[in-house]
Amino acid sequence: MITGVRPTGFLTIGNYLGAIKPLLESAEDGTAVFVADLHGLTDADPSTVAKYRLEVVRDYLALGVDSSRFYLYLQSAIGRETALCASYLSPLMSVAELLRVPTLKDKVKGGGPESANVALLNYPILMAADIFLQQASLVPVGEDQLAHLEVARVLATRFNRLYGHDGSRVLIEPKPLALKSLRILSLNGEGKMSKSNPAGAIFLTDSSAVVSKKIKSAVTALPGEMNPNLESLFLIGTLLSENDETRTKFEEFMTNHLAGEKVMGYFKNLLIEVVNRFLDLFQRERKLYSNEDILEILEEGKDKAREKARSVLSDMERAMGF
Protein backbone atom coordinates (compact mmCIF):
# COMPACT_ATOMS: atom_id res chain seq x y z
CA MET A 1 0.00 0.00 0.00
CA ILE A 2 1.00 3.60 -0.45
CA THR A 3 -0.49 6.93 0.47
CA GLY A 4 0.58 10.50 -0.19
CA VAL A 5 -0.54 14.03 0.59
CA ARG A 6 0.50 17.29 -1.05
CA PRO A 7 2.04 19.70 1.48
CA THR A 8 0.24 22.81 0.32
CA GLY A 9 -1.27 23.58 3.73
CA PHE A 10 -2.33 21.94 6.96
CA LEU A 11 -4.35 18.75 6.53
CA THR A 12 -8.14 18.73 6.55
CA ILE A 13 -10.62 16.26 7.99
CA GLY A 14 -11.21 15.29 4.32
CA ASN A 15 -7.58 14.16 3.95
CA TYR A 16 -7.81 12.17 7.14
CA LEU A 17 -11.13 10.46 6.43
CA GLY A 18 -10.49 9.93 2.70
CA ALA A 19 -6.94 8.62 2.78
CA ILE A 20 -5.27 8.29 6.19
CA LYS A 21 -7.97 6.64 8.31
CA PRO A 22 -8.59 3.88 5.72
CA LEU A 23 -4.83 3.35 5.52
CA LEU A 24 -4.51 3.00 9.30
CA GLU A 25 -7.42 0.57 9.42
CA SER A 26 -6.07 -1.85 6.88
CA ALA A 27 -2.40 -1.26 6.18
CA GLU A 28 0.12 -3.97 6.65
CA ASP A 29 3.58 -3.33 8.04
CA GLY A 30 5.97 -1.96 5.44
CA THR A 31 3.46 0.43 3.88
CA ALA A 32 4.80 3.57 2.20
CA VAL A 33 3.57 6.92 3.53
CA PHE A 34 5.00 9.95 1.81
CA VAL A 35 4.70 13.69 1.33
CA ALA A 36 4.10 14.58 -2.31
CA ASP A 37 6.17 17.77 -2.31
CA LEU A 38 6.94 17.62 -6.04
CA HIS A 39 3.21 17.40 -6.73
CA GLY A 40 2.77 20.39 -4.43
CA LEU A 41 4.76 22.49 -6.90
CA THR A 42 1.99 22.23 -9.52
CA ASP A 43 -0.11 24.86 -7.82
CA ALA A 44 1.76 26.21 -4.79
CA ASP A 45 4.99 28.17 -4.60
CA PRO A 46 8.12 26.27 -3.54
CA SER A 47 8.54 28.13 -0.24
CA THR A 48 4.99 27.21 0.83
CA VAL A 49 5.64 23.57 -0.02
CA ALA A 50 8.94 23.65 1.90
CA LYS A 51 7.17 25.21 4.89
CA TYR A 52 4.47 22.56 5.10
CA ARG A 53 6.29 19.36 4.22
CA LEU A 54 7.61 18.66 7.70
CA GLU A 55 4.27 19.74 9.18
CA VAL A 56 2.51 17.07 7.13
CA VAL A 57 4.90 14.44 8.51
CA ARG A 58 4.08 15.69 12.01
CA ASP A 59 0.38 15.35 11.13
CA TYR A 60 0.89 11.79 9.90
CA LEU A 61 2.69 10.82 13.11
CA ALA A 62 0.10 12.45 15.35
CA LEU A 63 -2.67 10.64 13.46
CA GLY A 64 -1.10 7.30 14.30
CA VAL A 65 1.18 6.56 11.36
CA ASP A 66 3.70 4.53 13.32
CA SER A 67 7.23 4.92 11.97
CA SER A 68 8.22 1.51 13.23
CA ARG A 69 5.57 -0.12 11.02
CA PHE A 70 5.47 2.26 8.05
CA TYR A 71 8.23 4.10 6.21
CA LEU A 72 7.80 7.83 5.78
CA TYR A 73 9.65 9.93 3.24
CA LEU A 74 9.55 13.06 1.14
CA GLN A 75 8.90 12.48 -2.55
CA SER A 76 11.74 14.90 -3.36
CA ALA A 77 14.17 12.73 -1.37
CA ILE A 78 13.78 10.17 -4.17
CA GLY A 79 13.07 12.88 -6.72
CA ARG A 80 15.64 11.68 -9.27
CA GLU A 81 14.27 8.15 -9.28
CA THR A 82 10.71 9.46 -9.50
CA ALA A 83 11.50 11.79 -12.38
CA LEU A 84 13.32 9.03 -14.24
CA CYS A 85 10.42 6.65 -13.81
CA ALA A 86 8.01 9.33 -15.07
CA SER A 87 10.26 9.78 -18.13
CA TYR A 88 10.00 6.08 -18.93
CA LEU A 89 6.22 6.19 -18.57
CA SER A 90 5.52 9.40 -20.49
CA PRO A 91 5.86 7.97 -24.02
CA LEU A 92 3.10 5.48 -23.22
CA MET A 93 0.36 8.09 -23.00
CA SER A 94 -0.89 10.72 -25.44
CA VAL A 95 -1.38 14.40 -24.64
CA ALA A 96 -5.05 14.01 -25.63
CA GLU A 97 -5.54 11.30 -22.99
CA LEU A 98 -4.01 13.47 -20.29
CA LEU A 99 -6.16 16.41 -21.34
CA ARG A 100 -9.23 14.27 -20.68
CA VAL A 101 -8.33 13.60 -17.02
CA PRO A 102 -11.21 15.25 -15.10
CA THR A 103 -9.01 16.83 -12.42
CA LEU A 104 -7.14 18.78 -15.08
CA LYS A 105 -10.42 19.90 -16.61
CA ASP A 106 -11.63 21.07 -13.18
CA LYS A 107 -8.44 22.98 -12.46
CA VAL A 108 -8.32 24.86 -15.73
CA LYS A 109 -12.10 25.50 -15.60
CA GLY A 110 -13.03 28.15 -18.17
CA GLY A 111 -9.38 28.80 -19.10
CA GLY A 112 -8.83 25.79 -21.39
CA PRO A 113 -5.59 23.82 -21.64
CA GLU A 114 -3.67 26.96 -22.66
CA SER A 115 -3.80 28.10 -19.03
CA ALA A 116 -2.63 24.77 -17.53
CA ASN A 117 1.03 24.40 -16.70
CA VAL A 118 2.84 21.27 -17.88
CA ALA A 119 3.20 19.98 -14.30
CA LEU A 120 -0.58 19.82 -14.05
CA LEU A 121 -0.73 17.81 -17.26
CA ASN A 122 2.00 15.45 -16.05
CA TYR A 123 0.50 15.14 -12.57
CA PRO A 124 -1.05 11.66 -13.08
CA ILE A 125 2.17 10.30 -14.62
CA LEU A 126 4.23 11.47 -11.65
CA MET A 127 1.65 9.91 -9.33
CA ALA A 128 1.89 6.61 -11.24
CA ALA A 129 5.67 6.74 -10.76
CA ASP A 130 5.23 7.15 -6.97
CA ILE A 131 3.03 4.07 -6.86
CA PHE A 132 5.10 1.84 -9.15
CA LEU A 133 8.41 2.65 -7.47
CA GLN A 134 7.11 1.38 -4.12
CA GLN A 135 5.40 -1.64 -5.75
CA ALA A 136 2.05 -0.77 -4.23
CA SER A 137 -1.04 -2.66 -5.34
CA LEU A 138 -3.60 -0.90 -3.12
CA VAL A 139 -3.94 2.85 -2.71
CA PRO A 140 -6.27 4.44 -0.14
CA VAL A 141 -7.48 7.66 -1.78
CA GLY A 142 -10.49 9.92 -1.72
CA GLU A 143 -12.84 9.96 -4.69
CA ASP A 144 -11.07 12.91 -6.29
CA GLN A 145 -7.97 10.79 -6.97
CA LEU A 146 -9.68 7.85 -8.67
CA ALA A 147 -9.11 9.23 -12.16
CA HIS A 148 -5.38 9.46 -11.41
CA LEU A 149 -5.30 5.87 -10.22
CA GLU A 150 -6.97 4.86 -13.45
CA VAL A 151 -4.14 6.52 -15.40
CA ALA A 152 -1.66 4.50 -13.32
CA ARG A 153 -3.52 1.28 -14.12
CA VAL A 154 -3.49 2.06 -17.83
CA LEU A 155 0.23 2.87 -17.73
CA ALA A 156 1.11 -0.35 -15.91
CA THR A 157 -0.94 -2.42 -18.35
CA ARG A 158 0.66 -0.74 -21.34
CA PHE A 159 4.17 -1.03 -19.95
CA ASN A 160 3.70 -4.72 -19.18
CA ARG A 161 2.19 -5.43 -22.57
CA LEU A 162 5.01 -3.65 -24.40
CA TYR A 163 7.97 -4.81 -22.36
CA GLY A 164 6.89 -7.71 -20.16
CA HIS A 165 8.60 -10.65 -21.82
CA ASP A 166 6.60 -13.89 -21.82
CA GLY A 167 3.66 -12.12 -20.20
CA SER A 168 5.58 -11.16 -17.03
CA ARG A 169 4.34 -8.17 -15.03
CA VAL A 170 7.09 -5.64 -14.46
CA LEU A 171 4.74 -3.05 -12.95
CA ILE A 172 1.85 -3.74 -10.61
CA GLU A 173 -1.55 -2.40 -11.69
CA PRO A 174 -2.75 -0.49 -8.60
CA LYS A 175 -6.31 -0.43 -7.31
CA PRO A 176 -8.12 1.90 -4.90
CA LEU A 177 -8.31 0.40 -1.43
CA ALA A 178 -12.04 0.96 -0.93
CA LEU A 179 -14.84 -0.19 -3.20
CA LYS A 180 -16.42 3.20 -2.66
CA SER A 181 -13.99 6.05 -2.03
CA LEU A 182 -15.05 8.93 0.15
CA ARG A 183 -15.85 12.47 -0.88
CA ILE A 184 -16.21 14.82 2.07
CA LEU A 185 -17.87 18.02 0.92
CA SER A 186 -17.02 21.58 1.75
CA LEU A 187 -19.02 22.89 4.73
CA ASN A 188 -20.22 25.87 2.76
CA GLY A 189 -21.55 23.81 -0.08
CA GLU A 190 -18.99 24.47 -2.78
CA GLY A 191 -17.60 21.13 -4.01
CA LYS A 192 -15.24 18.93 -2.02
CA MET A 193 -13.62 19.97 1.23
CA SER A 194 -10.19 21.22 0.25
CA LYS A 195 -7.23 23.16 1.60
CA SER A 196 -7.83 25.75 -1.10
CA ASN A 197 -11.24 26.73 0.34
CA PRO A 198 -10.36 27.32 4.04
CA ALA A 199 -13.78 28.68 5.04
CA GLY A 200 -15.44 25.40 4.03
CA ALA A 201 -12.77 23.11 5.49
CA ILE A 202 -12.08 21.80 8.97
CA PHE A 203 -8.31 21.77 9.39
CA LEU A 204 -6.79 19.34 11.86
CA THR A 205 -5.09 22.36 13.42
CA ASP A 206 -8.29 24.43 13.86
CA SER A 207 -9.11 25.60 17.40
CA SER A 208 -12.34 24.45 19.05
CA ALA A 209 -13.83 27.95 18.66
CA VAL A 210 -13.12 27.96 14.92
CA VAL A 211 -14.58 24.46 14.50
CA SER A 212 -17.69 25.49 16.37
CA LYS A 213 -18.15 28.57 14.20
CA LYS A 214 -17.58 26.69 10.94
CA ILE A 215 -19.98 23.85 11.81
CA LYS A 216 -22.66 26.23 13.07
CA SER A 217 -22.74 27.95 9.70
CA ALA A 218 -22.47 24.70 7.69
CA VAL A 219 -25.04 24.02 4.98
CA THR A 220 -27.64 21.38 5.96
CA ALA A 221 -31.11 20.49 4.64
CA LEU A 222 -34.67 21.47 5.57
CA PRO A 223 -36.50 19.11 7.97
CA GLY A 224 -37.62 16.02 6.05
CA GLU A 225 -35.02 16.53 3.31
CA MET A 226 -31.58 15.12 2.56
CA ASN A 227 -28.82 16.53 0.41
CA PRO A 228 -25.14 15.68 -0.24
CA ASN A 229 -23.94 18.33 2.25
CA LEU A 230 -25.92 16.92 5.14
CA GLU A 231 -24.92 13.38 4.16
CA SER A 232 -21.30 14.47 4.29
CA LEU A 233 -21.70 16.04 7.78
CA PHE A 234 -23.38 12.86 8.94
CA LEU A 235 -20.43 10.84 7.60
CA ILE A 236 -17.92 13.07 9.41
CA GLY A 237 -19.86 12.56 12.64
CA THR A 238 -20.22 8.79 12.41
CA LEU A 239 -16.67 8.20 11.19
CA LEU A 240 -15.16 10.28 13.99
CA SER A 241 -17.44 8.86 16.70
CA GLU A 242 -15.44 7.06 19.35
CA ASN A 243 -18.16 4.56 20.24
CA ASP A 244 -21.42 2.95 19.13
CA GLU A 245 -23.45 5.08 21.51
CA THR A 246 -22.42 8.29 19.74
CA ARG A 247 -22.93 6.73 16.32
CA THR A 248 -26.44 5.69 17.37
CA LYS A 249 -27.18 9.27 18.45
CA PHE A 250 -26.20 10.54 15.01
CA GLU A 251 -28.44 7.92 13.40
CA GLU A 252 -31.35 8.93 15.63
CA PHE A 253 -30.89 12.57 14.64
CA MET A 254 -31.03 11.59 10.98
CA THR A 255 -34.17 9.48 11.46
CA ASN A 256 -35.90 12.33 13.30
CA HIS A 257 -34.73 14.88 10.76
CA LEU A 258 -36.09 12.78 7.89
CA ALA A 259 -39.36 12.47 9.79
CA GLY A 260 -39.64 16.26 9.60
CA GLU A 261 -38.44 17.24 13.10
CA LYS A 262 -36.26 20.29 13.67
CA VAL A 263 -33.08 18.72 15.09
CA MET A 264 -30.27 20.33 13.11
CA GLY A 265 -29.19 22.52 16.06
CA TYR A 266 -28.74 19.45 18.31
CA PHE A 267 -27.12 17.50 15.50
CA LYS A 268 -24.57 20.27 14.99
CA ASN A 269 -23.81 20.49 18.70
CA LEU A 270 -23.01 16.79 18.81
CA LEU A 271 -20.91 17.12 15.66
CA ILE A 272 -18.94 20.00 17.19
CA GLU A 273 -18.34 17.93 20.32
CA VAL A 274 -17.16 14.87 18.39
CA VAL A 275 -14.90 16.80 16.00
CA ASN A 276 -13.35 18.82 18.82
CA ARG A 277 -12.66 15.73 20.90
CA PHE A 278 -10.85 14.18 17.96
CA LEU A 279 -8.89 17.36 17.20
CA ASP A 280 -7.95 17.94 20.81
CA LEU A 281 -6.34 14.52 21.03
CA PHE A 282 -4.61 15.02 17.69
CA GLN A 283 -3.29 18.46 18.63
CA ARG A 284 -1.88 17.21 21.92
CA GLU A 285 -0.22 14.31 20.14
CA ARG A 286 1.22 16.67 17.50
CA LYS A 287 3.26 18.54 20.10
CA LEU A 288 5.19 15.40 21.01
CA TYR A 289 7.28 15.34 17.84
CA SER A 290 10.29 17.61 17.47
CA ASN A 291 11.82 18.57 14.13
CA GLU A 292 14.81 16.38 15.00
CA ASP A 293 12.55 13.33 15.48
CA ILE A 294 10.91 14.03 12.16
CA LEU A 295 14.17 14.45 10.24
CA GLU A 296 15.48 11.20 11.67
CA ILE A 297 12.33 9.31 10.69
CA LEU A 298 12.50 10.77 7.18
CA GLU A 299 16.14 9.80 6.80
CA GLU A 300 15.35 6.18 7.57
CA GLY A 301 12.30 6.21 5.32
CA LYS A 302 14.27 7.68 2.45
CA ASP A 303 16.76 4.79 2.47
CA LYS A 304 14.02 2.21 2.26
CA ALA A 305 12.06 4.14 -0.40
CA ARG A 306 15.18 4.68 -2.50
CA GLU A 307 16.24 1.06 -2.34
CA LYS A 308 12.82 -0.07 -3.59
CA ALA A 309 12.70 2.64 -6.24
CA ARG A 310 16.12 1.73 -7.65
CA SER A 311 15.23 -1.91 -7.83
CA VAL A 312 12.01 -1.17 -9.74
CA LEU A 313 13.89 1.19 -12.08
CA SER A 314 16.43 -1.54 -12.90
CA ASP A 315 13.60 -3.98 -13.61
CA MET A 316 12.00 -1.43 -15.91
CA GLU A 317 15.27 -0.73 -17.73
CA ARG A 318 16.04 -4.41 -18.14
CA ALA A 319 12.57 -5.03 -19.55
CA MET A 320 12.84 -2.04 -21.90
CA GLY A 321 16.31 -3.11 -23.06
CA PHE A 322 17.54 0.35 -22.12
Minimum CB separation of residue 128 from ligand TYM in Å reads 8
Contact between 192 and 184 under an 8 Å Cβ cutoff? The reply is yes
Q: Is the dihedral of CA 191, 126, 81, 117 positive or negative?
A: negative
| E-assigned strand segments in 140-238 | 175-176
Contacting residues toward ligand TYM, per CB under 6 A: 2-6, 14-15, 18-19, 36, 39, 127, 130-131, 139, 141-142, 144-145, 148, 182-184, 192-194
CA distance 315 to 219: 51
Neighbour count for residue 61 (Cβ, 10 Å): 21
Give the nearer residue to ligand TYM in terms of CB position, either 109 or 180. 180
Q: Which of 21, 105, 175, 195 is catalytic?
A: 195
Residue 20 makes CB contacts below 8 A (sequence gap 6+) with: 3, 5, 11, 60, 63, 65, 140
Query: Minimum CB separation from ligand TYM for residue 13, in Å?
Result: 8
- If the CB atoms of residues 149 and 297 are measured against ligand TYM, the closer one turns out to be 149
Verify whether residue 195 is a known catalytic residue.
yes
Q: Which is nearer to ligand TYM, 184 or 313 (CB)?
A: 184
Closest contact distance (angstroms) between CB of 174 and ligand TYM is 8
| 107 part of the active site | yes
Q: Which is nearer to ligand TYM, 172 or 263 (CB)?
A: 172
Q: Verify whether residue 180 is a known catalytic residue.
A: no
Q: Which of 21, 51, 105, 107 is catalytic?
A: 107
**Among 192, 268, 302, 308, which one carries the catalytic annotation?**
192
Q: How far apart are CA 292 and CA 255, in angstroms?
A: 50
CB of 123 to ligand TYM, least distance (A): 7
Among 305, 282, 287, residue whose Cα is nearest residue 34: 305
Distance between CA atoms of residues 213 and 268, nearest Å: 11
Q: Collapse the DSSP code of 242 into the 3-class scheme (helix H, G, I; strand E, B; otherwise coil) and give the result.
A: coil
Cβ nearer to ligand TYM, comparing 93 with 258: 93
- Helix count and strand count (H, E) for the chain: 14, 5
Task: Kindly state the smallest distance separating residue 143's Cβ from ligand TYM, in Å.
Answer: 6
The catalytic site residues sit at 107, 192, 195
